[in-house]
Amino acid sequence: MKKLWMICALALTSQVALAKDIYVTIGTDAVSVSQKNFSGMKALDHYEGISVLKINDTQIEKLSKLMHDKFHRCGGFVVHDSKSEALKVLSDSAIRKLAKKQKFVDYTITEGATTTAMVSMIKEFNIRSTIEKLSSFHNRYYKSQSGLDSQAWIKGQWEKMSQGRADVTVEYFKHSNFPQPSIIMTVEGTTKSDEIVIIGGHADSIAGYWGRERARAPGADDNASGIATITETIRVLMETGHKPQRTIKFMAYAAEEVGLLGSKDIANSFKKAGKKVVGVLQLDMTNHAGTADKDIVFMTDFTNSDQTEFMGRLVDTYVHVPWGFSKCGYGCSDHASWHNAGYPASMPFESTMGDINSKIHTKNDTIAQSGSHAQHAEKFAKLAMSFLVELGK
Ligand code: BES
Ligand code: ZN
């Protein structure tokens, strides 16, 4: 546990350089404990459980340790470049409130026979093979050559599966500030093609602090598991030739581990273009069964409550495993990028936050830590499959 805290702290310090006053967004529930422990921390504003704290750079490691020890959060707060950037997180409140509470579409479950047939085609072996292949890249860091090679491999797999389909494209989404591209596979909807359903996860990995370009980072759980889950969903969709009415976009985001950079870029460009995204599913960490009595745990923050409730019903109808709720306490993955842009997102996660996989962001995040199989991730692929069919109709 101590080791994980050190990694969390190091990851955070890398973002602050030498600034004296710094601004962080942090769960409001952690503010008074933080203020009690450290002098001079000033709470500037808060909205819906998130606060902006002014702290100084010498307090960052201690705050990270406090968050880890008292709240079991890795990181647990986000460091911002400026006061205005931190406050903007709160000032986008109206947009985020809609993203959380607005009911975007009809969530009635109607496609029983089709969905059941497609769910039964999901195969654990394929997910396991993809996790093994992705974790064999030295790392998938957003600035390293192997992080470019791993994206080329995913793109190649998705292209191979969609060969001969005139209604499917696989493209890089290039980012102007860093070399690693994201990947977007689009399946054009038949009758409602302007309405978009997104299934995504981050493809990059990270470990260590100094020389991250060279550090071994298998990222098997975080997040080869999510990409493998998505890839198996694509395989079944392509093999059945099922044609959704809405447009489906599968996304493998770049540079999540360094501040959700890839997804932020994409979500903001969709918002700017006025694209109608009716649902976003985020798959980040699906293969480590950390919580004994819950297989699928839905994050309740930075997500849409109606869509998440719908996903709970999908689990009961098609996956038949126990599920529950938890929260990150901060924008812990790419769903937050979509949420902050005003779109409805859900994040089904492998365990509660109290039971997180302690090996993530280290060289030991391998599939061996999850029993060398992908039985947990298989449940998430079944869920993604049913989400695609029932929301894509
Ligand atoms: N997969 C993690 C997020 C995560 C970790 C969710 C543990 C739930 C439990 C993600 O890749 C990550 O590491 N996110 C960063 C934050 C991001 C803004 C850089 C984190 O959690 O520190
Ligand atoms: Zn991570």
Q: With 80 as the cut, is the pLDDT of residue 4 above it?
A: no
Residue 3's pLDDT band (boundaries 50, 70, 90)? very low
Annotated catalytic residue 202: yes
Q: Which residues contact 56 (CB under 8 A, 6 or more apart)?
A: 20, 21, 22, 40
Tell which CATH classification among 3.40.50, 1.10.287, 3.30.70, 3.30.1370 matches the domain 20-91.
3.30.70
Give the whole-number percent of the chain exceeding pLDDT 70. Answer: 95
Report pLDDT for 2.
33
196 neighbors 206 (Cβ within 8 angstroms): no
Which tens digit of pLDDT belongs to each residue from 295-350? 999 999 999 999 999 999 999 999 999 999 999 999 999 999 999 999 999 999 99
Beta strands in 213-303 (DSSP E): 246-253, 276-282, 296-299
Predicted confidence at residue 147, as pLDDT, reads 98
Global confidence as pTM: 0.82
Q: Is the pLDDT of residue 13 over 50?
A: no
Question: What atom of ligand 1 comes closest to residue 353's alpha carbon?
Answer: 9
Is 69 annotated in the active site? no
Reply yes or no on whether the pLDDT at 29 is more than 80: yes
Q: Is the pLDDT of residue 7 over 60?
A: no
**Average pLDDT for 202-224:** 96
Asked if the model's pLDDT at residue 364 lies above 50, the reply is: yes
Mean pLDDT of 117-146: 98
User: For residue 223, is the peptide bond before it cis, meaning its omega torsion is within 30 degrees of 0?
Assistant: yes
CA 120 – ligand 1 centroid, Å: 31
pLDDT digits 0-9 by tens, 161-179: 999 999 999 999 999 999 9
Cβ–Cβ < 8 Å for 75, 8:
yes
- The verdict on whether 284 is a catalytic residue reads yes
The pLDDT-based confidence of 78 (bands split at 50, 70, 90) is confident
For residues 354-378, give the mean pLDDT: 97
Superfamily of domain 96-392: Zn peptidases (3.40.630.10)
What residues does each domain of the chain span? 20-91, 96-392
Which among 111, 265, 284, 365 is annotated as catalytic? 284
Distance of alpha carbon 60 from alpha carbon 210, whole angstroms: 18
Share of the chain above pLDDT 90, in %: 78
Q: What per-residue confidence (pLDDT) applies to 6?
A: 42
Tell me which of 257, 265, 288, 299 to substitute to probe ligand 1's pocket, judged by most ligand atoms within 8 Å of the beta carbon.
257
Catalytic residue, chosen from 256, 334, 365, 390, is 256
- Please determine, for residue 104, whether its predicted confidence score (pLDDT) is greater than 60: yes
For residues 359-386, average pLDDT: 98
Mean pLDDT of 22-48: 89
Which of 202, 242, 288, 335 is the catalytic position? Answer: 202
Provide the pLDDT for residue 193.
Answer: 98
Contact 137/146 with Cβ under 8 angstroms? yes
To the query of whether residue 256 is one of the catalytic residues in this protein, the response is yes
In this prediction, residue 18 carries a pLDDT of 53
Query: What's the pLDDT tens digit per position in 247-268?
Result: 999 999 999 999 999 999 999 9
Q: Which residues, judged by CB distance below 6 Å to any ligand atom, belong to the binding site of ligand 1?
A: 74-75, 78, 222-223, 256-257, 259-260, 284-285, 328, 331-333, 349, 353, 356
pLDDT at 40: 84
Residue from 225, 332, 340 to probe ligand 1 pocket by mutation (most atoms less than 8 Å from CB): 332
- Looking at per-residue pLDDT, the higher value among 40 and 125 belongs to 125
| pLDDT above 70 for 139 | yes
- Measure the CA–CA gap between 77 and 391, rounded to whole angstroms: 33
| DSSP conformation letters of 72-108 | --SS-EEEESSHHHHHHHHHTHHHHHHHHH---S---
Average pLDDT over residues 25-38: 90
Task: Answer whether residue 204 shows pLDDT above 90.
Answer: yes
Q: How far is the CA of 243 from the centre of ligand 1 (A)?
A: 34
Q: Which atom of ligand 1 is nearest to the CA of 331?
A: 18
Ligand 1 center from residue 8 Cα (angstroms) = 10
